[in-house]
Amino acid sequence: MRPRFFLTIAVAALAGLAGFNAPVALAQKDHHDPLTEAQVDKIREAGIDPNERIKLYTEYINDHVNTVKSLTPRGKTEARAIHLNRELQDVSTLMDEAGSNLDEYSDRHADMRTALRALADQSQRWLSTLKALAGENGFDLSRKEAIEANQDLADQAQRLLREQTEYFALHKDEKGQERAEPKPDPQ
């Protein structure tokens, strides 16, 4: 989990305890999911297949980063700033979700090297796009958070790729697994 997530939960919990239910209700009403229902269904269908699931997150993050890139050269308007702010928040959210999936799959010793290579490559391109976007009042904080989330995800993907390359070089019989299975005890 990322610190931004915990901060959001803490603020919502404190607001509820303090009796500020109206703002919490408004925040819930304004909740925005960065994925469409069809995308959520595809992620569910991928189930526990780590490569497919990470591939989907990579694709969906890429879509949002491409939207950010397409908005970058447009004239500076309030509508553009609002759209960029939303897209950048979506990028951060999806990167955090992808990172959580990586954590879960790495704990299982799932072989996700194929997806990690693509994610590591794409994350460098995303970082270039996000850094090329000049900060503005309407989305500067979201831009900084997206860059931070991108760097965290890129570092995690590269670290896991190195770890997995070493692990599966030693455990060739586990190549391609979705999770480590207990080995029968030789007797």
Structural tokens at position 159: 């670290």
Give the span between the Cα atoms of 111 and 164, in whole angstroms.
Answer: 7
pTM of the model: 0.77
CA-nearest of 63, 65, 109, 105 to 84 is: 65
Q: What is the pLDDT of residues 28-45, one digit of tens each?
A: 445 689 999 999 999 999
CA atoms within 13 A on the CB side of 124: 6
Judged by DSSP in three states, 136 sits in coil
Q: What is the pLDDT of residues 102-161, one digit of tens each?
A: 998 888 778 899 999 999 999 999 999 999 999 889 999 999 999 999 999 999 999 999
